[in-house]
Amino acid sequence: MRTLIWKDFRINVIVLGYGFVCLIGLTIAFAAVKIYFDVRFNETVWPWPDTLVMNGSFGLAFQLLTVVMLGGCAVAAERADRSAEFLAYLPPSRWTIIASKAIVTIGAGLFIWSVDLAIAYGIAPLTGTVSEDLIIFRGSMIPVLTTTAILLFGAAWCASTFAPSHAIATGVGIAAPIALLCVLMGIDYIFEPRAFDLGSWYRLLSVVLGIAAFVAGTIYYVRRVEP
């Protein structure tokens, strides 16, 4: 298992590199802009708590691409270079192989996601009082981003188990929340003027469909026979 985990880590090293560059780069950028405006206008334009909430929130938005690429590269990246066929003849079972991929991709995604959440919810309040507007902004934006990330990853993971390349699997993952949103907007239009909570349905279905896609993709991979 340790060898498989290390192999999967190396496969995703570029994606993880993008995630960490976004994480560190955005933090430096928000801090630099805050300090610049404070010095430029000789007053506190953006307090540190508000800056950190914006940093964490927008950081999560940028990490959506990291999440979907982790799902898309899980299996399809090996199929593109035909190493998936080689793995099929090795001693580890397919459950062990897919478990290794899940540990690496989900673990990495959760780590990066938790850091931005910690910035927005943990570190920001320690530096002072967060403005009311940003508390509302944080409370509305982050749940949508988190549920979208679940759908992105699940759809890309599922597509990765049968797609010939990770680019196609990643594209399927990106298309999933767009398609769901279009369907819900159509339903909202049909039922107008009756009340339809599009946001709540989107968050609920994103979680349900994302988990269902992940499970379906995992089962398909275990039962699939590599050509």
Q: Is the pLDDT of residue 88 over 60?
A: no
Contacts of 130 (CB under 8 A, 6+ apart): 49, 50, 53, 124, 138
pLDDT of residue 217: 94
pLDDT of residue 86: 47
Is 73 within 8 Å of 101 (Cβ atoms)? no
pLDDT of residue 8: 80
For the chain, give the percent of residues with pLDDT over 70.
92
> Which range of residues forms the domain containing residue 73?
2-223
Specify the number of domains making up the chain: 1
Mean pLDDT of 102-125: 92
Q: What is the pLDDT of residues 158-182, one digit of tens each?
A: 999 988 888 999 999 999 999 999 9
**Phi and psi based region of residue 92 (left: phi greater than 0; alpha: psi -120 to 50; beta: remaining):** beta
Q: What is the pLDDT of residues 29-78, one digit of tens each?
A: 999 988 888 888 777 777 888 899 999 999 999 999 999 999 999 888 87
Q: Is the pLDDT of residue 5 over 60?
A: yes
Any idea what the Cα angle at residue 215 is, between residues 211 and 218, rounded to 5°?
Answer: 140
Q: Is the pLDDT of residue 137 over 60?
A: yes
Q: Is the pLDDT of residue 97 over 70?
A: yes
Mean pLDDT of 112-124: 91
Give the span between the Cα atoms of 222 and 174, in whole angstroms.
Answer: 24
Q: Is the pLDDT of residue 199 over 50?
A: yes
At 92, the pLDDT band (50, 70, 90 cuts) reads: low
Residues, the chain:
227
Mean pLDDT of 96-118: 92
pLDDT of residue 149: 96
Q: Is the pLDDT of residue 223 over 90?
A: no
pLDDT of residue 174: 96
At 81, the pLDDT band (50, 70, 90 cuts) reads: low
Identify the H or E element spanning 221.
helix 198-223
pLDDT of residue 164: 84
pLDDT of residue 178: 96
pLDDT of residue 103: 93
Q: Is the pLDDT of residue 90 over 60?
A: no
pLDDT of residue 82: 52
